[in-house]
Each structure stands twice: as structure tokens, then as C-alpha cells.
Amino acid sequence: MLAAATPTVAPRNLLNLTDAAKGAGRASFEGSPDEVAADIRRARGMGIDYLTFDLPAVDVPGMVRTMERFVREVKPAVG
């Protein structure tokens, strides 16, 4: 008999990094790098295996800047 596979959860979210904290009432993954990092840690705690982010639809250079900022400011805070 094969062991049951553990389901993988991979929600898709809009990523909106801001310079200032948004505080209470903000959407998940929207706000300062610290707020977004806290959202990612919370998702991990709920058993989320992977996150997929939609980037703000500006232009390609803007999307690249958002990805670079995420790697520079959010990823280290998540670990």
C-alpha cells in the first residue's frame, strides 16, 4: 500500500512592497518589507509550502526592481 501524499498548498498573492508600514487593515503581502516578511512567516506557520506572487503591473524594469527589492529586503528577514 502506498503512503498518502501530503497535499501541497501554494497560494498566489499580489505583492505590494511599500516604503512605509501600512499597519492594521492592510491586505496580506502588502506593506513594508518587515510586514511582508511577517506575512510569509505566518503563512509558513499555517503549513504553506510555496508562495507565488503577482507583481504590480507597471513595466518590466519596475517588476525587476520589485523582485530585487524582495530578495534584498524581505528574503533575509524570513530566513
Render pLDDT for 37-77 as a digit per residue (tens, 0 to 9). Answer: 999 999 999 888 788 999 988 899 999 999 999 999 999 99
Instruction: Tell me what the mean pLDDT of segment 28-40 comes to.
Output: 96
Count up the domains in the chain and report the number.
Answer: 1
Q: Which long-range contacts (CB under 8 A, 24 or more apart) does 66-75 make?
A: 66/15, 66/17, 69/17, 69/33, 70/15, 70/17, 70/33, 70/36, 73/17, 73/33, 74/17, 74/33, 74/36, 74/37, 74/40
The answer to whether residue 72 sits within a structural domain is yes
Prediction pTM value:
0.84
* Range of the structural domain that residue 47 is part of: 12-78
The answer to whether residue 5 sits within a structural domain is no
The answer to whether residue 4 sits within a structural domain is no
